[in-house]
Structure 1
């Protein structure tokens, strides 16, 4: 098999397995075996093996000690810690980005914020797409900090499934509020105001944490 074809198969496997995880088709803690996933996708095990490694790097899969991979599962305490770390690190990233506002892609951030607001206003919003756009928005802010070390640290605590899951827990008013906060952050970055940007981002993450922890407490 040529390199181009192999890369295409791996990319296709990554996209499909990622969709299963984010859609909830694969439960947290569920084991994934190369042979089963390869059969489901109708391809050999090699691109699936490579896809597992790539998705592990994204934080969407964890390697099991006994072999294979599984979708991560977190305790309430771990989720609380993740969001508190995100609040600290993301507010610092926003502060740094505001300090170098001339390098921040304000237009792209504004477009993402506007598109999320448009989607959120629909009667039946596409929550998966909202999650994807939200992830893109936050990644742009991380990258705008100008610190590869900070981006690496954020990647370690920004768990994509949790970022997507929160949109399924928001009430309409909570969703409206969180989407409006994206616009406030864009305004703060555009103004080059580090304190404003840091405070908006800190409050934004802690508000999401409050929603998630309250929902988990009620589920218990």
Structure 2
């Protein structure tokens, strides 16, 4: 049996991954300024690779490249996050509607179901990092099942901003048990081919999540400026 060989990660991909992980982990604080040479030293990479990664992350709204001033980690703005959530809510709701109309068999939805099961286990164990990981998988799979590649591309471009906001507020918000219940209702509606219920349930779910995160960002805004 032939083993699947994974293509090794390029230096550019590694620079992008390591720089984004430093942002998400708080190693590069929101609002902080950095020189290209400083980041190159932190990552033990060439300035060329760092510049390529910075340009990619600037396109995702995580960094800002300012002439003669260096690189700034973009603070989490409640107003920006409102706009991001509004766009994602509509696109994901469309994907949910399309998934429900696609007449998928239960086996086609197994990754969606597994993500929900993992979220339930994570909540029972009060493991919020594991919950966030499973939640990411649920939303990624949901959009994929919608079958619209342009929606996938746009959602992917904005997902890092949502991930960053969620990680910032994850340990200050209520335990996300309602989120798990919503995901299960969405899954059931897709499995039963009920596009209206699937779309409306997911839209309400996203709007509820938006209200929680925006309120927390506004309450603690001075921390991130």
Asked if TM exceeds 0.5, the reply is yes
Aligned length: 211
2:75 aligned residue: 73
What are the Cα deviations for residues 94-142 of structure 1, in whole angstroms up to 9, with x where unaligned?
111211142894101111111122112214x142x43333223212211
Asked if 1:170 corresponds to 2:201, the answer is: no
Q: What CA deviation, in whole Å up to 9, does each residue of 1:61-105 have, x standing for no partner?
A: 333242654333343222223222322222112111211142894
| Shift in alpha-carbon separation, 1:135–1:180, aligned structure 2, 3 A | same
- Conservation of the 8 A alpha-carbon contact between 1:169 and 1:212: no
Q: Report if aligned partners of 2:186, 2:202 keep a CA contact under 8 Å in 1.
A: yes
Distance 1:108 1:72 in 2: 34
Q: Report Cα offsets for 1:18-67 as digits up to 9, x if no partner.
A: 2211122222232343311221122322332333334345x263332426
Q: Is the counterpart of residue 111 in structure 1 residue 114 in structure 2?
A: yes
Instruction: Return 8-17 or 203-212, whichever deviates more.
Output: 8-17
Q: Matched residues in 1 for 2:202 and 2:76: separation?
A: 23
- Stretches of structure 2 lacking an aligned partner (at least 5 in a row): 1-6
Give the equivalent residue in structure 1 for 2:212: 211
- Asked if 1 retains the 8 angstrom alpha-carbon contact of 2:166 and 2:213, the reply is no
CA contact (8 A) 1:21 1:60 kept: no
Change (3 A) 1:36 1:30: same
The answer (yes or no) to whether the contact 2:169–2:216 under 8 Å persists in 1 is no
TM-score, normalised by the number of residues in structure 1: 0.81
Query: Please, what is the CA RMSD of the aligned residues?
Result: 2.7
Instruction: Report if the CA contact (8 A) 1:96-1:194 is conserved.
Output: yes
Q: After the TM superposition, list the runs of 4 or more consecutive aligned residues in structure 1 that deviate by more than 6 angstroms.
A: none
Using the size of structure 2 for normalisation, the TM-score is 0.79
